[in-house]
Amino acid sequence: AALEQGWTALRNGGIITAACYQGHPGGRAETEAVLAWAAALERAQIEICRREEAKDGPILVTVRKSARAGGPE
C-alpha cells in the first residue's frame, strides 16, 4: 500500500527506491512482493541492483516514473 501511494504521488521523472533485506524472517516474501509490484508497473523504468557476495544480501529496487506514466507534473 505504501509503494502504491508513493507511486501515485510521485512526479514524472521521480524515483522510488526500496531496500529489501532478505536475511530476516519474512524478508524473502517482502522482497518478492516489492519485485512483483515493480514488475506490474506500466511504462516505468525499473532497475534492480543486488549485492551478490552475500547469499541473503539486500536488494535495492529503483523505479523511475517516466514522463508517459501519468501522475502529477
Beta strands in the chain (DSSP E): 15-20, 44-50, 59-65
In tens, the pLDDT along 7-64 reads 999 998 888 988 888 889 999 899 899 989 988 887 677 766 666 567 778 888 888 8
What's the whole-model pTM score? Answer: 0.77
Angle value at C-alpha 62, between 14 and 51, nearest 5 degrees: 155
Query: How far apart are the C-alpha atoms of 73 and 9, rounded to whole Å?
Result: 10
Task: Describe the crossing of helices 2-9 and 27-39 by its angle, rounded to 10 degrees.
Answer: 30
Q: According to the model, what pLDDT value does residue 52 have?
A: 56
- Element (DSSP H or E) covering residue 39: helix 27-39
